[in-house]
């Protein structure tokens, strides 16, 4: 993860101030790229760090990159179309490659925010409505996306 100088200055804030910044990022009042230059996994991990600073260290933020962040998260449960609490991390899992290909952050309702995810969130500035992008859930619990079947999981540190 590549923190910007502004991203490093956040280290000096107390937990309450970090949490306030996380909420500003979640709701799009601030852009995550001011604090980190990274891919989807890294941006979600950064906001999770602000919400839960005892679960990710500064050293981890400096040394873990890209998809390696997936290993820090655990799959809580599969998303079935219900409302998702703001700040929840989501992992998008492609069945045919048996792996997570994208992470996003719930804004509340069924809206998400992400980077580098094309229709699943290309820019932090814009919210994405999951049902609009994924369409109806298949009988087997998967969604059709990008010519393949995927599952969506709620992820936790």
Q: Which pLDDT band holds residue 7 (cuts at 50, 70, 90)? A: very high
Q: In Å, what is the CA distance from 139 to each residue of 77, 90, 143, 144, 148?
A: 17, 21, 9, 11, 15
Q: For residue range 65-119, what is the model confidence (pLDDT) as tens digits?
A: 999 999 999 988 999 999 999 999 999 999 999 899 999 999 999 999 999 999 9
Mean residue pLDDT across the chain:
96
Q: For residue range 35-46, what is the model confidence (pLDDT) as tens digits?
A: 999 999 999 999
Which residue carries 């981890």 as its tokens? 60
Task: Identify the burial level of 120 via C-beta atoms within 10 angstroms of its C-beta, where 0-12 means exposed, 13-18 middle and 19 or more buried.
Answer: buried
Q: Domain ranges for the chain, please list them.
A: 2-67, 71-156
pLDDT score at 75: 85
């Amino acid at each position: 993860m590549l923190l910007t100088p502004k991203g490093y200055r956040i280290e000096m804030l107390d937990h309450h101030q970090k949490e306030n910044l996380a909420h500003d990022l979640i709701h799009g009042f601030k852009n995550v790229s001011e604090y980190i230059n990274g891919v989807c996994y890294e941006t979600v991990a950064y906001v999770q760090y602000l919400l839960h600073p005892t679960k990710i260290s500064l050293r981890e933020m400096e040394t873990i990159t890209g998809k390696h962040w997936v290993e820090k998260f655990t799959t809580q449960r599969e998303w079935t179309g219900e409302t998702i609490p703001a700040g929840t991390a989501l992992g998008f899992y492609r069945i045919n490659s048996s792996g997570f290909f994208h992470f996003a952050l719930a804004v509340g309702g069924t809206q998400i925010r992400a980077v580098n995810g094309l229709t699943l969130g290309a820019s932090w500035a814009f919210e994405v409505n999951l049902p609009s992008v994924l369409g109806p859930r298949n009988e087997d619990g998967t969604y059709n996306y990008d010519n393949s079947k995927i599952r969506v999981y709620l992820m936790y540190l």
